[in-house]
């Protein structure tokens, strides 16, 4: 009976991964296909296939304009959506697991706002770090994100020794509001940079190109690796810090790994795409309902489904009022804000509030 149960669990998880991956691949093709010029999946597959395996020569007869649209405009946009969506979703799952609260995410904790302040400061002041060069924007954004979460946790500990989840969330919202006012101040003082900053703040993965993909990729890999290895420990910490310590978990080290890893991902995502809220709230909540709360599987499944979600959100944003384009942050907020309210109401009614 035990072997049968283990086998059933394994098959179930394999199906979840396979289904999530297939949906993601389909959405990548869908996002690359739809636009002012519609391009078939077959043509997309041939163009991408030849890029991966140049010796195949399978793009004969395909118009050069279609190749340019796919390789220079749509594919980098979709890949950037994959990285940003996956990063925000896994960061949200990690914060929720660490704080044991489904309302925690980079947006509600103020981490996104902190990263935004760092990024806007770079754009506003024209800062270039000598050791970072072209990586100045994500580097400053990540440092600001890490500083923000440290300040949020420290301030919460100062006013509430018990570190209740309600106190952490409220502190995050307070810091987010304060940092938002700093951004508004910088915007009010800008001249020529105003349009660039405002457009960036609205959130988008469009017109970024491969340079932004390459800019985010190393930070994405580092952040994901840091969080992937914490899955077992996050499971133990859901029973409380004392219980986790009894199980041999180095709680302090794991806290820092989660906070740093999630802040790296949030900072990098904000640096390349602007402020896109609620992805880290919506996707972990849905994945937890569908796939369970085991962080060893929840974290990678959040990456796959977060990527899918942002591709679809971006596709909706650029087609619903075509030829104009809606900011992607507006789409995610329209979905995320009601879900935030629903989760909050359910927690209150369920007697889980603190």
- The CA-CA-CA angle for residues 142, 144, 146, to 5°, reads 70
* Same domain membership, residue 115 and residue 33: no
How many domains is the chain partitioned into structurally?
2
* Same domain membership, residue 210 and residue 313: yes
In which domain, by residue range, is 42 found? Answer: 24-71
Report pLDDT for 4: 45
Report yes or no on 337 lying in a domain.
Answer: yes
* Same domain membership, residue 86 and residue 39: no
Q: Are 210 and 76 in contact (CB under 8 A)?
A: yes
Report in angstroms the alpha-carbon separations of 194 from 5, 123, 190, 199.
59, 10, 5, 8
- The closest of 117, 175, 109 to 143, measured between CA atoms, is 117
**DSSP track, 288-307:** HHHH-S-HHHHHHHHHHHHH
Report pLDDT for 353: 43
The CATH number assigned to the domain holding 167 equals 1.10.3470.10
71, 104, 131 — which closes off a domain?
71
* Same domain membership, residue 86 and residue 67: no
* Same domain membership, residue 181 and residue 42: no
SS3 percent helix, strand, coil of the chain, rounded to 5, is 75, 0, 25
pLDDT averages per 10-residue partition of the chain, 354 residues: 48 88 97 92 93 85 90 94 96 89 82 90 81 81 90 86 74 90 82 68 81 92 94 85 82 85 92 88 91 92 96 92 84 84 74 47
**DSSP track, 38-85:** ---HHHHHHHHHHHH-GGG---TT--HHHHHIIIIIIHHHHHHHHHHH
Q: Are 32 and 75 in contact (CB under 8 A)?
A: yes
CA distance 29 to 78: 9
* Same domain membership, residue 178 and residue 47: no
* Same domain membership, residue 117 and residue 255: yes
Kindly report the pTM of this predicted structure: 0.88
Report yes or no on 13 lying in a domain.
Answer: no
């Amino acid at each position: 009976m035990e072997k049968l149960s283990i086998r059933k669990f394994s098959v179930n998880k394999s199906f979840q991964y396979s289904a999530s991956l297939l949906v993601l691949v389909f959405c990548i093709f869908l996002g690359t296909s739809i636009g002012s010029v519609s391009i078939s999946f077959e043509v997309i597959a041939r163009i991408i296939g030849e890029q991966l395996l140049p010796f195949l020569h399978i793009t004969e007869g395909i118009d050069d304009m279609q190749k340019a649209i796919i390789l220079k405009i749509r594919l980098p946009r979709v890949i950037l959506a994959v990285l940003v969506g996956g990063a925000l979703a896994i960061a949200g799952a990690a914060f929720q697991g660490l704080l044991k609260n489904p309302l925690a995410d980079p947006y509600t904790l103020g981490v996104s706002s902190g990263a935004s302040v760092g990024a806007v400061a770079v754009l506003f002041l024209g800062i270039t770090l000598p050791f970072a060069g072209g990586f100045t924007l994500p580097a400053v954004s990540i440092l600001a994100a890490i500083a923000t979460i440290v300040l949020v946790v420290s301030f919460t500990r100062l006013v509430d020794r018990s570190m209740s989840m309600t106190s952490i969330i409220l502190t995050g919202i307070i810091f987010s509001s304060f940092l938002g006012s700093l951004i508004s101040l910088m915007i009010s003082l800008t001249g020529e940079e105003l349009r660039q900053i405002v457009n960036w703040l609205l959130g988008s993965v469009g017109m970024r190109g491969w340079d932004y993909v390459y800019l985010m990729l190393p930070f994405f890999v580092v952040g994901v690796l840091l969080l992937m290895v914490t899955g077992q420990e996050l499971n133990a910490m859901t029973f409380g810090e004392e219980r986790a310590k009894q199980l041999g978990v180095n709680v302090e080290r794991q806290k820092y790994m989660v906070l740093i890893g999630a802040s790296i991902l949030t900072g990098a995502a904000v640096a390349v795409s602007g402020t896109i809220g609620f992805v880290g709230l919506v996707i972990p909540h849905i994945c937890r309902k569908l796939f369970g709360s085991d962080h060893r599987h929840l974290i990678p499944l959040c990456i796959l489904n977060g990527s899918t979600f942002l591709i679809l959100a971006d596709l909706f944003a650029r087609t619903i009022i075509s030829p104009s384009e809606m900011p992607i942050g507006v789409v995610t907020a329209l979905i995320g804000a009601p879900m935030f309210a629903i989760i909050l109401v359910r927690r209150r009614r369920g007697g889980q509030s603190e």
